[in-house]
Amino acid sequence: MTTELPKSFDPAVLEPIVRAAWESHRAFAADPSDPGEPYSIVIPPPNVTAALHLGHALNNTLQDILIRKHRMRGDNAVWLPGTDHAGIATQTVVEKRVFQEEGKRRTDFARDEFIGRIQAWKDDYEARITEQLKAMGCSCDWDRQAFTMDPPRAAAVREAFFRLFADGLIYRGKRLVNWDPATQTALADDEVEMEEIDGHFYYLRYPLADGSGHVTVATTRPETMLGDTAVAINPRDPRAADLRGQSVRLPIVGREIPIVEDNYVVMPVRFGGDDKDPKAVLATGFLKVTPAHDPNDHEIGRRHNLAVINVLAPDGTISDRHGWTDIGDAGFVLGQTREDARQAIVHWFKVNGLLEEIKPYRHSVGHSYRSHVAIEPYLSDQWYCKVTDPRLAGAALAAMAEDQRDGAKKDAAASSDHSPKSALRFHPARYARTFQTWHENIRDWCISRQLWWGHRIPVWSSPAGRVSPANFADPANVSIRAMDDAQFVCLRTHDDAAVAVLESAGFTQDPDVLDTWFSSALWPMSTLGWPDADAIADPRSALNVWNPTSVLCTAREIITLWVSRMVMFNLYFLNRLPFRDVFIHAMIQDGHGQKMSKSLGNGVDPMDIIHSHGADAMRFTLTGMATNTQDVRLPVDMVDPVSAETFTPHYITDSAGYTVAAPIQQAPSDPRRKMVSSYGVASGKAHATPDQPVARNTSAKFDFGRNLCNKLWNAGRFVMMSLANAPAPAGDPASTTQPARTTHPQSSTAPAPTNAAAPSTHPAPFTAPAPANAPAPTTLADRWILSRLARAVRDADEGLGAYRFDQYAKVCYDFFWRDFCDWYLEAIKPAMRDPASAPASAAVLATTLDQVLRLMHPAIPFITETLWSQLNSVRPIRGLVGIDAPPSELLIHARWPAPSSRWIDDSAETQWQRLQDIVGAIRNLRNEHKVEIKKRVKVAIAAPPDIAADLAVHIALIDLLATCDSSLSSASPSSTAARATAAGVELYVEGLVDESAEKQRLAKRREELTRAIAAMKARLDNPGYIAKAPPRLVEQSRAQLADAESELAKIPDA
RNA sequence: GGGCGAUUAGUUCAGUUGGCUAGAACGCACGGAUCACACCCGUGAGGUCACAGGUUCGAGUCCUGUAUCGCCCACCA
């Protein structure tokens, strides 16, 4: 039965079966009370704004590899899944959707009603994301799935806010914030994108108040002049002395404002300014100071005690209702947008003869990452978290690994195990610098957002009302602080009675919500039960077992947004790190080095790849791409929806200077084309019907993984067929290979059978007994493959330990395909026609496949799990002395291979390498002379006595692998024999008559040898080389020279 | 402006502390329906390691500079 595997594997059929098996066994469930070293990862919670993209696929594949490997090692491994509510992003998406579909704006709804809409969106996308992760094979503990706004996470937010508030680390500040006039909310610095803009420098004349003349200020934003409260000049400016104490009359408004001296002002070039500084070139030396609308001016205003006059409404229009009273003649701009006001004011200056000049100026301007409109520095009341406090940023800096601070030792330090395990380490180490610089220059964190979707700020205030702790039933859960002459009351938990007290005293709750990163910052704590009192008190609680987590896997773009804040909060609230390692993986770009994005249409949907190639194929390809670099490229193929042809898109530059994909004629307007990036987004439309082709981006790169899976499938099939007749283990095979795990499928606490037997530390494979009836391998092929296996296991482990997933993938690939399939399987085919007669080889074969499946399972879990169950049902002898292969019903719970250095066999590898060289040389000769594939040729091998003795034993292998009949001889070339040299022996293939081919080949070889001899001679003639190079290398060079010369001597002259 | 990367075969990438004739995969060329696999097998071609200096017996690797590309941070005069 078991040998009836289909010829090629079908992921669409197999993956759901394997998923069901894992689910029914509750294979991903973890329990903090399990023995085993804790190993935990929290998922970087994807935003519920959209379905997962390829970057997520990479991110989660790598995490799953780590989790699966550690689970197999017997560690108490848990992977905590969840999603992020992503305040601004999600609200914006839903607002846009509602407006498109219903023509309604957010303000047309009641707050709760609109939140309900967003909630529905969230439910939808959370489900999709979860399904995507499951389809990818992510072995998250789904019982612990979290959402940054669900009740447990809300409790964490309340507790954290309360503690920070009571400790004075949260304050209310009237500050300039990055205001997005479109969404009417404040943005964090990180949410602002800089864009280069072609703007202008406007030179405006401000008359001196005494009428004796004017000063000329230069500005890119003339409209803000309405809020000017000073003109500044550098004290070193030669004109400063004459103007000291003077003031100017602000045009339009008529406000009299002082001339102040401040070092911030850039000196114009003619007074000694730096001529390389474009500002100095353009500057007049007079700076208009608008404290309410420019961060630097705000600082100047503080230094000189200037008035702060806000002339804008929250929507970005000029307004006299938000702090501006002396409007003078400015009535004509009231109500205008920033852009219109700019034109109007410039026009006013022009007609009044006060506009001196306009010069073009290219500069960068902050834009909202959401609405893409220009950010307005805007004065408003916001809540701040005082991350500049030493207890936060300082603690984060102190937690860094010593050898990663100040860029010490660079990447070499990342993999060293010498520094204390308790420190925060980055992999690759260069990212430690990003983290350090951020904290050294950190500014207080604006945590309030003018949104509806998010954690409502748990503070009530009243300008007039007053309360005291005595008013509350539970004063310990109330924190009262006075700021700005008002009382602010923070409630620790949801408490209707306390709210009633506040409301009756005239208090109202702050309408704002918290920055989405506030809840994200608590993620490694809140997903594990904090702040539940029992969780904190119990040393065996999930919180105390799994926090600190083992590693955080993420992309570099959120080191400052997220990593930093988790470190600060975890240290502050729990006095320990949220994770020890931070692994920063590469970002996936398209084949042109551009980010994948919806607007470029170059994104690749993981679900498309799962459908076309299979989850394993996608995972393996991504694993191989996870190199140490900061970007990797994935050339994207697009599928034309009409012709169904695949092609590589080219790019054009649009009128705005942006590069855009130009893949398909009229692509953006073709409704079918839109489905490219909307798999799973435009619900129900993603699945193509046969008569309606759907364009889906893909990449030929995924063929790499698919080919590997297919190869593994067929190799597995072949091994299984071979072993079907092989000896089975003594005793009752069924009971040893089929542990009865299915008898307790509901028990999440039951560890895997293999792990249960293991101590809490790693299994000790060297002491594990081999099967009593395991025959000892004796053949060269067996010794060789076991030696290669031992190295592969060691190297794979090393790669994973250093977060070098590409190395892990390569080791698996090379060992499995090159060694196991290309050479080992070919070599043992004769023996496997009757495995019972070669029990040792059968045991080696079964053991090797067993280990290959274990080794590759973390990367390609579905196909390996499928083959594992097949191997279990064949029941061959598995395991050898030194190679522990304890049975397990499911591979996901099977024990991770441990390096078995006892099988590393240099002599076998040397001998095998010689065979490979000889076989390669004979195959080469055959090909050069166009010998038919099945024709056996006669080969005479002339070898020195010691090598000849070795070869005599294995001559049958040469005959098998090179399709020849070879004989060892002492060099008796017939005149017509084609010849070659390999591995120190000479080969003569009889009967190859194509003399021109042979001559060509020899001429080429002669040239190669001549070149090599010249290079060697030059090297050895260099006295410095002889004197300074290690003797080993000099010896090697001499030997190579001798070999090359002797081979050349034997080549007959043309 | 500050920082971090990258530049190696047609393409995507490896290349450990400097040391064999610089490797792999895909693609390409030639041969092959062989009883695991044509998503395969065998063989081969293909590289001035971005450029210019330097250190060294020896540089893809270390140093300096240049160019191009990318990312992060800062910056509305």
Q: In the predicted model, is pLDDT for residue A601 greater than 70?
A: no
A196 versus A229: the higher-pLDDT residue is A229
A235: left (phi over 0), alpha (psi -120 to 50) or beta: alpha
The pLDDT assigned to A1041 comes to 82
**Which residues fall within 8 angstroms of residue A850, CB to CB, at 6 or more apart?**
A871, A878, A879, A885
The 3-state secondary structure of A346-386 reads HHHHHHCCCEEEEEEEEEEEEEECCCCCECEEEEEEEEEEC
Q: What's the average model confidence in pLDDT over A563-573? A: 93
Helix or strand holding residue A193 (H, E): strand A192-207
Q: How far apart are CA A115 and CA A90, in angstroms?
A: 11
User: pLDDT grade, residue A229 (50/70/90)?
Assistant: very high
State the pLDDT confidence band at A637, using cuts at 50, 70 and 90: confident
The whole-number pLDDT of residue A598 equals 65
A798 phi-psi bin (left φ>0, alpha ψ -120 to 50, beta other)? alpha
| A655 CB burial (10 A radius; 0-12, 13-18, 19+) | exposed
What's chain A's average pLDDT? 82
pLDDT of residue A359: 86
Write down the H helix ranges in A74-212: 87-102, 111-136, 151-166
| Distance of A302 CA from B21 C1′ (whole Å) | 71
Average pLDDT over residues A236-243: 88
Residue A1017 is predicted with a pLDDT of: 82
pLDDT tens digits, residue range A685-725?
222 333 333 456 788 888 899 999 999 999 999 999 888 87
> SS3 letters for A622-687?
HHHHCCCCCEEEECCEEECCCCCCEECCCEEECCCCCEEECCCCCHHHCCCHHHHHCCCCCCCCCC
Q: How far is the CA of A769 from the C1' of B17 (A)?
A: 39
Going edge to edge, which strands form the sheet with A230-233? Answer: A247-249, A256-261, A230-233, A286-289
pLDDT in tens, A930-967: 888 788 888 888 888 788 888 888 888 888 888 888 88
Nucleic chain B: which protein residues 607-626 of A have CB below 7 A from it? 625
- For the cut 60, the answer to whether the pLDDT of residue A245 exceeds it is yes
For residue range A374-431, list pLDDT tens digits in order: 888 888 888 989 988 889 988 998 888 877 776 554 333 334 444 445 788 888 888 8
The closest of A22, A134, A140, A24 to A864, measured between CA atoms, is A22
Give the pLDDT confidence score for residue A333 in this predicted structure. 92
Report yes or no: A94 and A121 within 8 Å, Cβ to Cβ. yes
ipTM of the complex: 0.93
Judge if the beta carbon of A107 is closer than 7 A to nucleic acid strand B. Answer: no
As a whole number of angstroms, the distance between CA A1016 and CA A1040 comes to 8
What is the structure's pLDDT at A190? 62
Asked if pLDDT for residue A186 goes beyond 60, the answer is yes
Residue A974 has a pLDDT of 59
Q: What is the pLDDT of residue A716?
A: 94
A123 vs A329: CA distance, rounded Å: 53
Torsion A337-A339-A340-A341 (CA) sign: positive
A166-184 residues labelled b (16+ CB within 10 A) or e (exposed): beebbbbbebbbbbbbebb
Residue A228 pLDDT greater than 70, yes or no: yes
* d(CA A349, C1' B53) / Å: 57
Band (A645; pLDDT cuts 50, 70, 90) = low
Q: Give the burial class of A363: count Cβ atoms within 10 A of its Cβ; 0-12 exposed, 13-18 middle, 19 or more buried.
A: middle
**A987: confidence class by pLDDT, cuts 50, 70, 90:** confident
CB within 7 A of strand B (chain A, 138-197): 189-190, 194, 197
Q: Protein A632 CA to nucleic acid B42 C1', in Å?
A: 33
Cα distance between residue A625 and residue A839, in whole Å: 40
- Global pTM reads 0.84
Highest-confidence segment of A127-141, A180-194, A200-214, A718-732: A127-141
Residue with minimal CA–C1' distance to B37 is: A714
- Give Rg (Cα) of chain A: 36
Residues 448-477 in A having a C-beta less than 7 A from any atom of strand B are none
Q: Is the CB of A433 under 7 A from strand B?
A: yes
Look up tokens 């090359």; give the residue: A1044
Output the pLDDT for position A276: 65
DSSP assignment of A299-358, as one string? HHHHHHT------B-TTSBB-SSSS----TTGGGGTT-BHHHHHHHHHHHHHHTT-EEEE
Given this model, what pLDDT does residue A737 score?
Answer: 41
- As beta bridge partners, residue A551 has A581
User: Longest Cα pair distance anywhere in chain A, in angstroms?
Assistant: 115
* DSSP string over A443-492: --EE-EES-SSSPBP-EEEESS----GGGSS-GGGEEEEEETTEEEEEES
Question: A902-937 in b/e burial notation, b at 16+ Cβ within 10 A?
Answer: ebbbeebbebbebbbbbbebbebbbebbebeeeeeb
Strand B neighbours among A 523-562, CB < 7 A: 556-557, 560
Nucleotide with minimal C1' distance from the CA of A196 is B76
A651 touches strand B (CB under 7 A): no
- Least confident span in A374-378, A439-443, A621-625, A989-993: A989-993
Lowest mean pLDDT among A337-341, A365-369, A473-477: A365-369
Cis peptide before A251 (omega within 30 of 0): no
For residue A1014, name the pLDDT band (cuts at 50, 70, 90). Answer: confident
pLDDT of A766 > 50? The answer is no
A207 vs A190: CA distance, rounded Å: 40
A219 touches strand B (CB under 7 A): yes
Strand B–CB A1039 distance below 7 A = no
The residue-averaged pLDDT of A15-35 equals: 94
Two tokens at A991?
A: 């009967």
Q: What is the DSSP letter of A168?
A: T
pLDDT of residue A642: 52
Average pLDDT over residues A534-544: 94
Residue A670 has pLDDT above 50, yes or no: no
Strand B atom within 7 Å of A413 CB: no
Closest by Cα among A197, A194, A195, A175 to A186? A175
pLDDT of residue A986: 74
Q: How far is the CA of A822 from the C1' of B30 (A)?
A: 21
Question: Is residue A782 very low, low, confident or very high in pLDDT (cuts 50, 70, 90)?
Answer: very high
Beta-bridge mates of residue A445: A385
User: What does the pLDDT look like over A32-51, one tens digit per residue?
Assistant: 999 999 999 999 999 888 88
Q: Is A1000 helix (H, G, I), strand (E, B) or coil?
A: helix
Give dist(CA A915, CA A951) in Å, integer: 8
Residue indicated by tokens 């990797």: A632
pLDDT digits (tens, 9 = 90+) for A897-932: 987 788 888 888 888 998 998 898 889 888 888 888
**pLDDT tens digits, one per residue of A283-296:** 888 999 999 998 88
- According to the model, what pLDDT value does residue A1043 have? 79
pLDDT given for residue A980 in this prediction: 74
DSSP A267: P
Which of A237-246, A405-414, A481-490, A694-703 has the lowest average pLDDT? A405-414
3-state secondary structure of A400: strand
Nucleotides in B strand less than 7 A from protein CB: 3-6, 11-15, 17, 19-21, 25-27, 30-32, 34, 36-44, 56-58, 69-77
